[in-house]
Amino acid sequence: MHCAHPFCRTLALAVGLGLILSTQSVFPQAKPAREAIAAAYKVFEAAYFKGDAEAIAKQYTLDAELFLPNGPIVKGRQAIQEVWKNLVSSGGNKLRIETIEVQEAGNWAYETGKFVAMTPDGKVIADAKYLVIWKRDESGEWKTHRDIPNSNVPMKQP
Amino acid sequence: MHCAHPFCRTLALAVGLGLILSTQSVFPQAKPAREAIAAAYKVFEAAYFKGDAEAIAKQYTLDAELFLPNGPIVKGRQAIQEVWKNLVSSGGNKLRIETIEVQEAGNWAYETGKFVAMTPDGKVIADAKYLVIWKRDESGEWKTHRDIPNSNVPMKQP
């Protein structure tokens, strides 16, 4: 099959461009977000136990935002690291994160889930649900871009 | 410009398909999410003031999830309507919602923002930030699909 007509060459170029664009939207990346998220949380849980706020912060984009309850929005990886430094303290506590749902669209994904944090003697210090926006960066890595949890525990009546 | 060669016809079809697919990803919809969200919140604020939980619930997808603080995930439009029925009570309170950021990807968008709710005499009953996942449905309408707020107000020390 060969056609040297100039129209054919123009069409061939257009087809190529069209297919490249459409393939990018249909197969957005090699590594599915769900798999990347599961791997990221293994690292996250280990870092939490070790009290390694820097390793946790590295999982966020540089311009990430953390929406913690009872305070303003924490902006940027550096500020987020400071917050986690307080939360993990010197380590020893256990964190278990469980993804419920992952929905991808191109370089973006949202994820819902829940987590429980416990002291070494099993006292629950956090029992919460969350919504996270993941962003795939230039290197193809999925990073946390927006992160908002809130508690599952009913308010104490005054 | 005309080419009756069978290869040309095949190419023309492929170009058409390629352009349709690529156009869908590059220009995902006529109405940008930010504009649709602004319009939706005008309706939302008015419905809150009127105590119209049904009008609020209609802005959610049928399988939406609402992550309210201090309780489990509320699943589905009907259950969400019941929750809003309690929150709006008989109306009269004012709600002001302010979008901070909107990021679209195909039929999905995330939005961050903040809101304040006040009684008629100006007492603040909620001061919060949120992250919302919007989904564009088959009819092209943007609906709230996942919705999680948490408070900006510092916890009272016991």
* Structure tokens given for B152: 């900006």
Is residue B12 domain-resident? no
- Measured CA to CA, the distance from residue B128 to residue B130 in angstroms comes to 7
Does the pLDDT at position B23 exceed 80?
Answer: no
The C-alpha of B156 sits at a distance from chain A's nearest C-alpha, in angstroms, of: 10
Is residue B41 domain-resident? yes
pLDDT at B4: 60
Is residue B7 domain-resident? no
Is residue B38 domain-resident? yes
**Other CB atoms closer than 10 Å to residue A67's CB: what's the count?**
25
Is residue A10 domain-resident? no
Query: b/e map of B59-95 (b: 16 or more CB within 10 Å)?
Result: bbbeebbbbbbebebbebbeebbebbeebbeeeebeb
pLDDT at B156: 81
Q: What is the mean pLDDT of chain B?
A: 88
Does the pLDDT at position B20 exceed 50?
Answer: no
* Structure tokens given for A77: 């990886």
How sure is the predictor about B2, in pLDDT bands with cuts at 50, 70 and 90?
low
**Other CB atoms closer than 10 Å to residue A139's CB: what's the count?**
6
User: Mind giving me the DSSP string for A83-145?
Assistant: HHHHHHTTS--EEEEEEEEEEEETTEEEEEEEEEEE-TT--EEEEEEEEEEEEE-TTS-EEEE
pLDDT in tens, A87-126: 998 999 999 999 999 999 999 999 999 999 999 999 999 9
The total number of structural domains that make up chain A: 1
Among B residues 54-113, those touching chain A with beta carbons less than 8 Å apart: 65, 67-73, 103, 105-108, 110, 112
Say which range, A136-140, B75-79, B113-117, has the weakest mean pLDDT: A136-140
Q: List CB contacts (< 8 A) between B18 and chain A.
A: 14-15, 17-19, 21-22
Q: Which domain holds residue A132?
A: 31-151
What region does A51 belong to: left with phi over 0, alpha with psi -120 to 50, or beta? left
Angle separating helix axes A6-26 and B6-26, nearest 10 degrees: 40
pLDDT in tens, A18-72: 444 444 444 444 579 999 999 999 999 999 999 999 999 999 999 999 999 999 9
Q: What is the pTM of this model?
A: 0.82
pLDDT at A31: 76
Is residue A2 domain-resident? no
Is residue B10 domain-resident? no
pLDDT at A3: 58
Is residue A78 domain-resident? yes
Q: Domain containing B78 — which CATH number?
A: 3.10.450.50
pLDDT at B31: 76
